[in-house]
């Protein structure tokens, strides 16, 4: 029995809530009552929906009519449950309200209560109609439990109940198909006030459970640690999303850094989901990771993602997901896709290190973490950020992640000062630098062949994260894959190198051009973008001087430069204006990028492009990276 404190020494008269039961009353106490029947020998009074009894006429004088309110004293509770009252005429008393004491159980702790009737309070997080009952998934501070309510076979029970409603459920705990379920006796949406209380309690509990762990950075690096508060906010939002049973869908760049970013986050979230959800399938329902072949979120991808999300909602009553963009998502090219999602309840979180366009992106995203927003740059790779993010979500995996930032940095040729520390950290775990490069090469190679598939277990083996005691397999596999990848790169370059055209620009920079459509194999590894990169790297090494390389196909060109300042977005804008009917578009930044055009205007576009490059300023500090927007199919 929960009752507000009695502050004075006046007599207390209890006012029972309608759902109070016998358990809430005691002999000798005073209660507010209402007459609900008048008979010869007395009046019947109600104290609540289920508590009522007789005041015998011998116990009072005068007369009562139905619906009269009065105060009664509970004189006797008989063995058979009958109650006897006598009306009381009190001059001065204090009224105390009594709620029925529900003895609310914890949704996450029902295994000991099989066969018992319990009461739960929580939020509805999923509603699924079966051929029999309707299954309401009720979430409280401690977990989520399915509650089966039967109206009629296949008919929606409690049609007024919706996702996010706060409810009180009474039912019997049952073990069914190897998991616990509550057979619903009653399910009530709480009134606004009560709901607010519960919601507040849940919120508070969720906030507490969502709170990320405090972690020490893997290496001392102020450039990165200044971003910790933002990463913690993301960690909090992701943990919170899991607690709310909202699915998380990750879209990431299908390259080495993208994998180094997304695999640790996946691993951390899977652990957290396993801890917080009883259903072992939950980690598949609540988490999905997909690589994006394009360097941005394409309309085709967002259409597919949205379609699947709506299908899951319709079929399984799931919430719409949160979208987590990793190593992608910071640019204006992502905005059309974000706009498409804006019409649905799908929060967007971005962790990226590509040159961002915050003005374009931020109206559509809930969180945006990018080193450029801190006056840093791509050298802080997404993998480096996400290893820390993963540790904030689930610290015990730290052990398995120590080598990952080094792989991420090597993949993206990060020139960060911290790279030395990261490589040393990895070496202390037994990873030689050359082997770390091999891991990167192997990730690239597998990403190529997996295409649109996440390849979870395969990639975990390659990266040696979350793959059990697969160390030896990891080593062998990386060696095999990186050797195969290298040998396929050799084959590609054997075909392409003799056809690389060279000219010396006025600026004295070397310009190399290669027709990757006609002088390289298509639909194989390496794809045009990487082929161009490999040629470029060799030429940089060969000459030791400023180099620009253009790898072009029928309707695209991949650009790479070292020691020359190409402002690619500026070039694209100019080309688009100057070349009528060229259909020029593209992206990138200073040293790397790609452009698209219509095939019939290739010559004009390339000529104009080379002319612009001839004017480009020499800046020997600028070194190429792979962090651009390359066409790589």
Tokens 């770390």 correspond to what residue? Answer: 436
Dmax (CA) of the chain = 118
Which residue number, 215 or 467, has a Cβ lying nearer to a copy of itself?
467
**Beta-sheet strand order (sheet of 501-504):** 501-504, 510-515, 547-552, 556-562, 592-596, 585-588
* Member of 201, 209, 538, 596 binding a copy of itself (CB under 8 A): 596
Residue 15 binding a copy of itself, by CB under 8 A: no
Which residue number, 12 or 360, has a Cβ lying nearer to a copy of itself?
360
The interface region with a copy of itself, picked from 32-40, 190-198, 272-280, 620-628 by CB under 8 A, is 272-280
Which residue number, 279 or 567, has a Cβ lying nearer to a copy of itself?
279
Task: Show contacts with a copy of itself in window 471-490 (CB under 8 A).
Answer: 473, 476-477, 480-481, 484
3-class secondary structure for 293-360? CCCCCCHHHHHHHHHHHHHHHHHHCCCCCEEEEECCCCCHHHHHHHHHHCCCCCCEEEECCCCCCHHH
Which residue number, 414 or 467, has a Cβ lying nearer to a copy of itself?
467
* Member of 18, 159, 430, 600 binding a copy of itself (CB under 8 A): 600
Min dist. Cβ of residue 280 to a copy of itself (A): 5
CA–CA gap between residue 158 and residue 124 (Å, rounded)? 12
467 phi, psi to nearest 5 deg: -115, 30
Residue 278 binding a copy of itself, by CB under 8 A: yes
Residue 495 binding a copy of itself, by CB under 8 A: yes
C-beta separation of 370 from 356 below 8 A? yes
* Member of 21, 22, 164, 284 binding a copy of itself (CB under 8 A): 284
Tokens 């790779």 correspond to what residue? Answer: 381
CA–CA gap between residue 145 and residue 142 (Å, rounded)? 10
Min dist. Cβ of residue 530 to a copy of itself (A): 15
Q: What is the DSSP string of 557-606?
A: EEEEEESEE--HHHHHHHHHHHSTT---EEEE-SSEEEEE--GGGHHHHH
Residue 130 binding a copy of itself, by CB under 8 A: yes
* Member of 5, 39, 65, 153 binding a copy of itself (CB under 8 A): 153
The interface region with a copy of itself, picked from 117-125, 146-154, 409-417, 619-627 by CB under 8 A, is 146-154
Residue 496 binding a copy of itself, by CB under 8 A: yes
Q: What is the DSSP string of 461-513?
A: HHHTSS-TT-HHHHHHHHHHHHHHHHHHHHHHHHHHGGG-EEEE-TTS-EEEE
Task: Show contacts with a copy of itself in window 101-120 (CB under 8 A).
Answer: 111
Residue 458 binding a copy of itself, by CB under 8 A: yes
Q: Could you tell me the CA-to-CA distances from 58 to 45, 53, 74, 122, 583 in Å, in that order?
A: 15, 15, 15, 48, 100
* Member of 314, 359, 615, 621 binding a copy of itself (CB under 8 A): 314
The interface region with a copy of itself, picked from 7-15, 66-74, 151-159, 528-536 by CB under 8 A, is 151-159
Residue 18 binding a copy of itself, by CB under 8 A: no
Pairing between strand 42-46 and 30-39?
Answer: antiparallel
For 290, the enclosing helix (H) or strand (E) is strand 287-292
Residue 315 binding a copy of itself, by CB under 8 A: yes
The interface region with a copy of itself, picked from 170-178, 243-251, 431-439, 559-567 by CB under 8 A, is 170-178
Min dist. Cβ of residue 178 to a copy of itself (A): 3
65 phi, psi to nearest 5 deg: -115, 160
Kindly write out the interface string for residues 538-577 of this chain, putting x where it contacts a copy of itself by CB under 8 A and - elsewhere: -----------------x----------------------
* Member of 206, 512, 525, 552 binding a copy of itself (CB under 8 A): 525
CA–CA gap between residue 532 and residue 515 (Å, rounded)? 9
3-class secondary structure for 118-146? EEEEEEEEEEEECCCCEEEEEEECCEEEE
Residue 452 binding a copy of itself, by CB under 8 A: no
CA–CA gap between residue 353 and residue 85 (Å, rounded)? 75
* Member of 429, 599, 620, 623 binding a copy of itself (CB under 8 A): 599
Task: Show contacts with a copy of itself in window 322-381 (CB under 8 A).
Answer: 336, 339-340, 342-344
Q: Could you tell me the CA-to-CA distances from 226 to 371, 391, 566 in Å, in that order?
A: 10, 16, 30
For 607, the enclosing helix (H) or strand (E) is helix 602-615
Residue 67 binding a copy of itself, by CB under 8 A: no
Residue 22 binding a copy of itself, by CB under 8 A: no
* Member of 192, 311, 432, 501 binding a copy of itself (CB under 8 A): 311
| Short-list 59, 54, 46, 61, CA closest to 15 | 46
Helix ranges (H only) for 184-298 are 192-210, 222-225, 228-243, 256-276, 282-286
* Member of 56, 213, 451, 502 binding a copy of itself (CB under 8 A): 451
Which residues make Cβ contacts (< 8 Å) with residue 172, sequence separation at least 6?
A: 115, 116, 117, 118, 182, 183, 185
Min dist. Cβ of residue 596 to a copy of itself (A): 7
Residue 304 binding a copy of itself, by CB under 8 A: yes
| Short-list 527, 532, 585, CA closest to 555 | 585
Which residue number, 156 or 612, has a Cβ lying nearer to a copy of itself?
156
Residue 160 binding a copy of itself, by CB under 8 A: no
CA–CA gap between residue 294 and residue 289 (Å, rounded)? 15
Query: How many of the chain's residues bind a copy of itself (CB under 8 A)?
Result: 81
* Member of 519, 538, 565, 612 binding a copy of itself (CB under 8 A): 519
Residue 446 binding a copy of itself, by CB under 8 A: yes
Structure tokens at 166: 């706060």
Min dist. Cβ of residue 139 to a copy of itself (A): 16
Task: Show contacts with a copy of itself in window 229-248 (CB under 8 A).
Answer: none
CA–CA gap between residue 389 and residue 461 (Å, rounded)? 21
Which residue number, 216 or 476, has a Cβ lying nearer to a copy of itself?
476
The interface region with a copy of itself, picked from 72-80, 241-249, 404-412, 442-450 by CB under 8 A, is 442-450
Residue 56 binding a copy of itself, by CB under 8 A: no
Residue 494 binding a copy of itself, by CB under 8 A: yes
Min dist. Cβ of residue 484 to a copy of itself (A): 6
* Member of 185, 300, 424, 486 binding a copy of itself (CB under 8 A): 300
Residue 159 binding a copy of itself, by CB under 8 A: no
């Amino acid at each position: 029995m929960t009752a507000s404190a009695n502050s004075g020494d006046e007599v207390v008269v209890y006012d029972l809530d309608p759902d109070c039961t016998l358990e809430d009353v005691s002999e000798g106490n005073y209660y507010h009552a209402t007459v609900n029947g008048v008979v010869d020998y007395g009046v019947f009074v109600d104290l609540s929906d289920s508590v009522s009894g007789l005041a015998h006429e011998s116990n009072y004088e005068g007369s009562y009519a139905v619906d009269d309110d009065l105060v009664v004293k509970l004189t006797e509770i008989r063995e058979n449950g009958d109650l006897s009252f006598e009306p009381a005429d009190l001059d001065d008393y204090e009224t105390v309200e009594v709620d029925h004491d529900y003895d609310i159980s914890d949704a996450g702790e029902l295994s000991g209560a099989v066969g018992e009737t319990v009461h739960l309070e929580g939020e509805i997080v999923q509603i699924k109609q079966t051929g029999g009952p309707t299954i309401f998934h009720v979430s409280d501070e401690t977990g989520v439990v399915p509650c089966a309510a039967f109206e009629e076979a296949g008919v929606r029970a409690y049609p007024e109940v919706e996702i996010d409603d706060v409810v009180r459920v009474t039912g019997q705990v049952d073990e069914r198909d190897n998991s616990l379920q509550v057979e619903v006796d009653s399910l009530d949406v709480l009134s606004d006030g009560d709901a607010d209380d519960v919601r507040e309690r849940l919120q508070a509990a969720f906030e507490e459970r969502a709170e990320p762990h405090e972690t020490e950075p893997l290496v001392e690096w102020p450039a990165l640690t200044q971003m910790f508060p933002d990463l913690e906010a993301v960690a909090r939002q992701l943990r919170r999303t899991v607690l709310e049973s909202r699915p998380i869908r990750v879209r990431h760049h299908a390259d080495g850094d993208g994998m180094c970013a997304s695999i640790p986050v996946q691993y951390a979230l899977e652990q957290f989901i396993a801890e917080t959800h009883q259903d072992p399938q939950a980690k598949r329902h609540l988490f999905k990771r997909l690589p994006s072949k394009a360097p941005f979120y394409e309309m085709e991808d967002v259409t597919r993602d949205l379609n699947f999300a709506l299908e899951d909602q319709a079929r399984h009553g799931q919430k719409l997901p949160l979208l987590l963009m990793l190593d992608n998502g910071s640019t204006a090219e992502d905005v059309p896709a974000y706009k498409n999602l804006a019409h649905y309840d799908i929060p967007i979180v971005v962790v990226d290190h590509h040159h961002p366009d915050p003005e374009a992106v931020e109206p559509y995203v809930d969180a945006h973490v990018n080193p450029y927003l801190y006056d840093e740059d791509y050298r802080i790779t997404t993998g480096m950020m996400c290893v820390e993010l993963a540790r904030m979500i689930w610290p015990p995996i730290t052990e398995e992640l120590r080598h990952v930032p080094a792989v991420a940095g090597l993949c993206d040729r990060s020139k960060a000062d911290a790279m030395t520390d990261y490589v040393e950290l990895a070496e202390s775990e037994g990873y030689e630098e050359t082997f770390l490069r091999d891991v990167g090469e192997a990730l690239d190679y597998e990403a190529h062949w997996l295409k649109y598939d996440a390849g979870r277990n395969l990639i975990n083996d390659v990266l040696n994260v979350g793959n059990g005691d697969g160390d030896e397999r990891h080593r062998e596999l990386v060696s095999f894959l990186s050797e195969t990848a290298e040998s396929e790169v050799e084959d590609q370059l054997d075909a392409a190198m003799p056809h690389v055209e060279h000219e010396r620009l006025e600026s004295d920079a070397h310009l190399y051009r290669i027709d990757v459509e006609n002088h390289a194999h298509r639909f194989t590894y390496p794809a045009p973008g990487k082929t161009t990169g490999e040629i470029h790297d060799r030429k940089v090494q060969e000459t030791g001087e400023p180099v620009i390389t253009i790898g072009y196909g029928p309707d695209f060109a991949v650009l790479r430069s070292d020691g020359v300042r190409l402002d690619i977005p500026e070039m694209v804008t100019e080309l688009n204006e100057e070349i009528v009917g060229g259909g020029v578009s593209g992206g990138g930044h200073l040293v790397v990028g790609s452009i698209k055009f219509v095939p019939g205007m290739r010559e004009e576009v390339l000529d104009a492009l080379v002319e612009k490059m001839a004017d480009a300023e020499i800046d020997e500090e600028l070194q190429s990276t792979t962090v651009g927007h390359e066409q790589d199919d």
